[in-house]
Amino acid sequence: MTMLNPGWDNAADILCIRLDYLGDVLMCTPAIRAIRQSRPGRTITLLASGSGAAAVPYIAEIDAVVEYAAPWMKSSNPHQANTELELVQALQSRRFDAAVIFTTYSQSALPAALLCYLAGIPLRLAHCRENPYRILTDWVPDPEPGKEVRHEVRRQLDLAATIGCRTADETLSFKVPESDLTWARRCLAALDIDPLQPWMVVHPGATAPSRRYPAHHWAQVTRELTQTLGYQVVFTGGAGEAMLIDEIRSGMPMMHTLAGELDLGKLGAVISLASVVISNNTGPAHLAAAIGTPLVDLYALTNPQHMPWQARSRVLFHDVPCRFCYKSVCPQGHHACLDKVEPSQVIAAVEELMSGHDRSLLQEFAPNRDFLRSEGVKAASK
């Protein structure tokens, strides 16, 4: 490992890189805040995928964004022409003082680091498992997963701390514009949602099939919420999830859907006004954590480090021997880590959050503390 370069103290214009999805960018915002606050006048540009770039207008710590579909990332567009040489030229023209590359431990930082090296960015920081030699100027050997597995937010905060960047505010960053709040209130009124009575945002979709709670369970949960408990329900999702939502709410017209109607600001506004969000482990779950809306997270055990961060939350899963598979499709075919979460457990979690008697994240994982300790997982505080 090389000694960390003292030139970071004078780096004023920094490129931060996170190339996967919305939730991953949100989980980097505490570290980005630490980097920005550590030097007066410092500016931050984010290099991100389209999904991540969409969050930038709502993140105060980021000044500009460059959108890039990296071919080595799952979020890339296979039909997009290679633009790496153009990207290198664009980054070179910006004359950044430094680059910080954020990755999860299952990813390599070296492709992004090589782009920064070719662009002549003089300081380049990242976790890296193998020796990067001159591609990184500041190499932090990656201890994960061999020695420990940290929460994703803690991993990025620790990376920023290696160059002396720390913050007392470790919350996720997302600011809902007042214009979107005004729109959301009008929209909910048009749906006859009574804001003085409890109502839920239900987000049943996820990019990976392995992280989707089964539709028949969702139907039972939402039927109990509306018909037995009298709660109001509003579904959210992309246009491609409209059929899933229609399947879930079939025969229950009192449930409302905004599938395909919300940009990120409007989605954030709707979430901010809800009593509780019920979601798979996907972007809107991290959005709820950033905004501060109580969250029931149907947490597929594909990986351990993306739990809600510093949020009032209940995290529900069924323990399985094949946990932490990192697969987008269940390799066993049984989907048991979510399929065996009973709808009654989801209802109980909602009721606890509504009553204010919800338990902390670590307590929620209490039946499985042994495997959490064995994996070195560090849960976020409540």
pLDDT of residue 378: 36
pLDDT tens, residue by residue, 226-255: 999 999 999 999 999 999 999 999 877 778
pLDDT at 10: 93
pLDDT digits (tens, 9 = 90+) for 196-215: 999 999 999 998 888 899 99
pLDDT digits (tens, 9 = 90+) for 267-324: 999 999 999 999 999 999 999 999 999 999 999 888 888 999 999 999 999 998 888 8
- The CATH class of 6-161 is alpha beta
- What pTM did the predictor assign? 0.89
- Residue 368: pLDDT over 90: no
- On the question of pLDDT at 81 being above 80, the answer is no
What SS3 state is found at 207?
coil
Query: How many percent of the chain have pLDDT more than 90?
Result: 76
**Do the domains 178-375 and 6-161 match in fold?**
yes
Give 286's Cβ-side CA count (13 Å radius): 26
Q: What's the rounded mean pLDDT across residues 47-70?
A: 95
| Structure token digits, residue 99 | 């680059």
Tokens (6 digits) for 23: 């939730």
The one-letter code for the residue type at 369 is: R
The shares of helix, strand and coil residues in the chain, as percent rounded to the nearest 5, are 40, 15, 45
Helix (H) or strand (E) holding 284: helix 283-291
Q: What angle do CA 8, 10, 12 make, to 5 degrees?
A: 95
DSSP state of 379: P
Residue 222 CA to residue 344 CA, distance in Å, equals 11
> For position 272, what pLDDT does the model report?
97
Interior angle at CA 213, CA 308 and CA 73, nearest 5: 65
What is the CATH code of the structural domain delimited by 178-375?
3.40.50.2000
Determine the Cα–Cα distance for residues 73 and 77; give it in Å rounded to an integer.
Answer: 9
Domain ranges of the chain: 6-161, 178-375
